[in-house]
Amino acid sequence: MLFGELLDEAASTRMLNEAWEAGIDAFDSAEMYPVPQRVETSGESERILGRWLKTRPRDRAVVCTKIAGPGGMDWIRGGPVSLSPADIAAAIEGSLQRLGTDHIDLIQIHWPDRYVPMFGEVEYRPELAYTSVSIEDQYDALTRAVDAGKVRYVGLSNETPWGVAQWTRLHEDPPSDTPPIVALQNAYNLLCRTHEAGTAEACHATGVSLLAYSPLAMGLLSGKYLQGAIVPRGPSGPSDGPGFLCEHGGRSTDRLNRYRGRYAEAESRYGARRPVVEATREYVRVAGECGVSPTELALRWVLGRPGVAAAVIGASDNAQLRELVAAAEGGRLPDGVVERIDAVHRAWPNPCP
Short-list 314, 332, 296, 323, CA closest to 22 = 323
**What are the φ and ψ backbone dihedral angles of 80, each rounded to 5 degrees?**
-70, 140
Question: Shortest CA distance to 243 belongs to which of 123, 161, 129?
Answer: 123
* C-alpha dihedral, 322 to 328 to 334 to 338, nearest 10°: 100
Core vs surface per residue 61-78: b (16+ CB within 10 A) or e: bbbbbbbbbbeebeebbe
The per-residue DSSP string of 311-323 comes to EE---SSHHHHHH
Nearest to 48 by CA among 5, 111, 105, 107: 5
Please identify which of the residues 33, 153, 263, 283 carries the catalytic annotation.
33
Contacts of 25 (CB under 8 A, 6+ apart): 60, 61, 62
DSSP codes joined into one string, 161-227: HHHHHHHHHHHHTTT-SSPPEEEEEEE-BTTB-GGGGTHHHHHHHHTPEEEEE-TTTTTGGGTTTTT
Asked whether 152 and 96 are in contact (CB, 8 A), the reply is no
d(CA 179, CA 170): 9
DSSP 8-state symbol, 22: T
Q: Does 188 qualify as catalytic in the annotation?
A: no
Cβ 15 vs Cβ 321: under 8 Å: yes
Q: What does DSSP say about strands 237-238 and 233-234: parallel, antiparallel, or unpaired?
A: antiparallel
Specify whether the CB–CB gap between 108 and 157 falls below 8 A: yes
Using alpha carbons only, what angle is made at residue 63 by residues 59 and 64, rounded to the nearest 5 degrees? 155
Amino acid at 346: R
Task: Give me the active site residues, please.
Answer: 33
